[in-house]
Structure 1
Amino acid sequence: MELHRSSGLLLHPTSLPGPHGIGDLGAPAYRFVDFLAASGQRLWQVLPLGPTGYADSPYQSFSAFAGNPLLISLELLEQEGLLTKSDLAPAAKFPTTRVDYGGVIDFKKAMLLKAFSAFRDHGSIAMRKEFGVFCDRSSDWLPDFALFMAVKAAHQGAPWVEWDRGIARRHPSSVLRWQRLAAEQIETHKFWQFLFDRQWTALRNYCRERRIQIIGDMPIYVAHDSTDVWIAKELFHLDKSGRPTLVAGVPPDAFSDTGQLWGNPIYRWDVMASNGYEWWIRRFHSALSTVDIVRIDHFRGFEAYWEVAGDAETAQIGQWTPGPGPALFQAMRDALGDPLPIVAENLGVITSAVEDLRVQFGFPGMAVLQFGLDDGDPHSVHLPHNYPHRIVVYTGTHDNHTSLGWWEEARRKGDEESGPSPSEKFARAYLNLEGDRTNVPWSMIHAVSASQALWTIVPLQDVLGLGTEARMNTPGQESGNWQWRFEEDLLTDALAQRLAAMTFAHGRG
């Protein structure tokens, strides 16, 4: 993958402003792209775009191929005659700085059902033809996904292992029966996917016209309660009832003393290898039809992964097991071409074997400035003076504090008796911090931007100078994540000019 010195912002679409309780693919998304262009940015990084399941996490999706209907812009549907202005007035006003997922899901689902009814009853010939083309183009995943969501709704949202035995095991007679029983619901989900694809494609084309590339995010694992596992049980370590016998996670680390127990079923890599990694090739082909570059979350799992017993309560007890290694990426390169536009998330405990795999295929890795300042080690790979040329660097990621939040926590670790914490003292010296706390985020942005790293990505929260209240995710915390939103008046011309001045001064424009 050819890299040109540039920079960008990290912002998931759910965090965009708007009147309907959650960011979407409507006008505020286009205004954000305009802000990226005006500030000299060439990259927009998003989190996974799939339909969210457990705890509203984009990393626990009902499908590795589908889009999230909650991101569909209702205002764009109103412009197309699928909704009316009166439809778009919610019964209660939604918060502007966070997503109330319960209220949003109820409201948007009702509106999207109205939109489908309008399409079914009086949709234009052109839209019907476009819908048919989309269904044909998506025939390798869309029918199964739509059936999965319809059956799931009929079982009050229960995981597929708790469905009626026949459909849980996908007996042909049960599949045919449910296809008849839930025909309208199946068509509804297909239509919602069509709307998502239509709006996302238009937004992506708008980005391309402004020379902005989108970096997507691919979790290495899929959710157990997903279409992917339900239709291809042979690709995962499951027992006869369909429950995982081995699940994924990481051992104890800086984020958690008991490790992180993700609960995703482990792949049967031997089975995947036997058919040339066909599932992975389809998955990457689908991703690259949606974004320009793919960041692989937990890249180290392809070299070796931490597997834990399916009934474990924490990730403390487990073992490292060899992954597919270079065979997978060679198969993808043969099928999809070279170079593969991949960024490898290589954070945490990384061995030389993991780095050898990454370097073998030319994937840039990652560094996070907050980690370097936490360590206080001048030799840390996370500090700008140690960055190699071919790397993607961040002030922080969606899993970190905001930069201001990090600083406030570092200060709280000190006390009157012993003085400032080691992290605060090191950060003051390294960043040459002076003045009040509002200087901290921009000092950190400047540090990564001025480095020799080819790509720098900064969460929008840091550009806005926001604190812990704007944190997107706290690993290990089961609820309250993925809710942050910003208010549109924060994206000012003066802010764009300030970011542009730094960007161009550092040769990233």
Structure 2
Amino acid sequence: MLIEDTPPSASQDQRRAGALLHLTSLPGPGPCGDLGMPARNYVDFLADCGISVWQMLPVGPTQRELSPYQTSSAHAGSWRLIALEPLVEQGWLQAEELAALQGSDEGKARALSLAYGRFQEAGDTSDRQGLERFVAEHSYWLEDWSLFWALRQEIGQCWWHWPDALRHRDPQDLAAARARLSAEIDFIVFEQYLFFSQWQTLRAYAEARGIRLFGDMPIFVAHDSAEVWARPQDFDLNPDGTTRVVAGVPPDYFSATGQRWGNPLYRWQEMVNDGFRFWIDRIRTQLRLFHMVRIDHFRGFEAYWEIPAGETYAIHGRWVKAPGAALFSRLNQYFGQIPLIAEDLGLITEEVEALRKRFRLPGMKVLQFAFSGGAANPYLPFHHDRDSVVYTGTHDNDTTLGWYESLSDAERAYVGEYLGRPAEPMPWPLVRCAFASRAHLAVVPMQDILGLDSAHRMNTPGTVDAKNWQWRFDWSSVPSDLPARMRRLVAIYGRLVS
């Protein structure tokens, strides 16, 4: 007798194929990909391939290492992702200025400043009303972010090194700062208006082509962020604002000493007491941006790895319980069933699995993890649930070709035997394996769609490598017949959405 697993959740309405590509990896003349024409061209490419989900990484303002998982705001968008071409169309930037300034972050910052000055001088009624509506709709985070970022730029140090009155948010000193920095604050608000306006344009374009945008929300936020400064009561900090304990994971697939992320941990009881306002606000912003959202490190909602802040490595930590059930009950009460995907990789206990299933959150299956440990390995395709998301690899993995080339001869032989000794070169056998899975969503990184090797890896966890987060593709590397070949695969495995 066949026993069916859990029916697909609301986020998994039918079989779909997805591609994983961060916005910064798009081609274009700027220092990184952005929300302009390159993003729309990529939507067209996905539609031609029959791919109906575009997954990307977090889109907040990054810090020095450019990691999208360490951002200065849980709500704001990165100004680096703002496209300059639409500002020329709006008359806020001249074509010759665009040509001169778009090639670097410094140039883009200058271009945005010029555009703001012209908006102030010549913005029409519709533009100004649009800005006013944006400010009203995003007031729950925008005021804290704009003041925080203006002060951060003025002082030039992390917020826990600010003068005591600003660090502890003395009302009189905050009012004085708002008055002193009013011009800077208004510009920061304008940048966010541009980001969210361009985002909605891209989202509408994607919807018209049948593409869903799939976001990624880190479980923790950066210490040097607007949220930790504005709501210190929600975080486990010392009185001076430094961290008492920090987040990470114990030794795992990626690191023998674990990973010390350094994010402040939550004071969960404070969050319970105020009805999880912090999380309601975060989800509200994510749903403005994306059709569906992956929650990174879902395991931490059942129990998280607490590391004393003075420890250099993550190995000296402990598991501490978290009120995940209370949180997701509150979120469902507020929003209804949310289209969330649980990143449930790593050391997953029965309690974590029960939490995920209780709230009908699809989990993740990564095929690069499948070929060790024999037939009991949960990542092998015959163990996949329908209500899950299967990947060849993620942004933290090597490319599939790079992974395969790094295996021993015996390991490659085992992979080949499992996959039926395919004639096709890697990564195509693993792409087919993902598409053939029972999982309702199969996601393939763009590097695998292009068949690229380890030189094109997006990130190596546990390292601060200058190459991390820098990868971009070029349209010249996309074969002209690739969309047709991809569309055929998507159709064969029942993932073509009409």
TM normalised by structure 1 equals 0.93
Q: Which residue of 2 aligns with 1:441?
A: 427
Residue pairs, 1:300-379, within 5 angstroms: 300-337=299-336, 339-373=337-371, 375=372, 377-379=374-376
CA offsets per residue over residues 454-489 of structure 1, 9 Å max, x none? 110000110001111111110011132100000023
1:72 paired with 2:69, answer: no
SS in structure 1 at match of 2:215: strand
The residue type paired with residue 343 of structure 1 is I
2:473 counterpart residue number: 486
> Using the alignment, how far apart are the partners of 1:306 and 1:233 within structure 2?
20
Map 1:230-249 to 2 at 5 A.
Answer: 230-249=229-248
Structure 1 partner of 2:176: 177
Over residues 26-57 of structure 1, what are the superposed CA-to-partner deviations in whole Å (9 max), with x where a residue is unaligned? 11110110111111111110101111114111
**In structure 2, how many angstroms separate the alpha carbons of the residues matched to 1:154 and 1:396?**
41
Maintained 8 Å contact 1:246/1:265: yes
2:148 paired with 1:151: no
Q: Give percent identity, aligned residues only.
A: 42
Task: Read off the aligned partner of 1:247 and give its amino acid letter.
Answer: V
Q: Which residue of 1 aligns with 2:384?
A: 387
Q: Identify the match of residue 417 of structure 2 among 413, 422, 429.
A: 429
2:92 aligns with one of 82, 100, 105 = 82
Q: Name the CA distance, whole Å, in 1 between partners of 2:415 and 2:100.
A: 46
- SS of match in other structure, 1:44: strand
> Secondary structure of the equivalent of 2:87?
helix
1:433–1:440 CA contact under 8 A, matched in 2: no
Alpha-carbon shift at residue 500 of structure 1 (Å):
0.2
Q: CA separation in 2, counterparts of 1:273 and 1:386?
A: 36
Structure 1 residues 24-423: aligned runs within 5 Å: 24-90=34-100, 104-156=104-156, 158-337=157-336, 339-373=337-371, 375=372, 377-410=374-407, 414=408, 420=409, 422-423=410-411
Q: Is the 8 A contact 1:299 1:344 kept in 2?
A: yes
Q: Which moved more, 1:399-408 or 1:114-123?
A: 114-123
Match of 2:139, SS state, is coil
Per-residue CA deviation, residues 140-182 of structure 1 (Å, 9 max, x unaligned), is 11111011111111112x2111122221221111111111111
* 2:487 aligned with 1:467: no
- Gaps spanning 5+ residues in structure 2: where? 1-8
TM-superposed CA distance for 1:423, in Å, is 2.3
Distance 2:264 2:349 in 1: 23
Letter in 1 for 2:490: T
Task: Tell me how far apart the structure 2 counterparts of residues 456 and 487 of structure 1 sit (CA, whole Å).
Answer: 24
Deviations for 1:387-441, whole angstroms, at most 9, x for unmatched residues?
A: 122110000000000111111222xxx4xxxxx2x32221222224456xx8101
Distance 1:439 1:139, change over 3 A: same
Q: CA deviation at 1:492?
A: 4.5
Kept in 2, the 8 Å contact 1:26–1:76? The answer is yes
Q: Offset at 1:90?
A: 3.9
Q: Counterpart of 1:117 in structure 2: which amino acid?
A: G
Match of 1:14 in 2: 24
Which stretches in structure 1 are left out of the alignment for 5+ residues?
95-103, 415-419
Q: Alignment partner of 1:347: what SS?
A: coil
Partner of 1:497: 484
Offset, 1:286:
1.5
**In 2, distance between residues paired with 1:6 and 1:366?**
15
- Is residue 306–residue 318 contact of structure 1 (8 Å, CA) maintained in 2? yes
TM-score, normalised via structure 2 length: 0.95
Check if 1:507 corresponds to 2:494: yes
| Structure-2 separation of matches of 1:281 and 1:55 | 28
Query: Aligned residue pairs: how many?
Result: 485
SS of 1:289's partner is helix
Is the contact made by 1:297 and 1:345 (CA closer than 8 Å) also made in structure 2? Answer: yes
Choose the corresponding residue for 1:450, options 436, 447, 450.
Answer: 436
Instruction: Give the aligned partner of residue 99 of structure 1.
Output: none
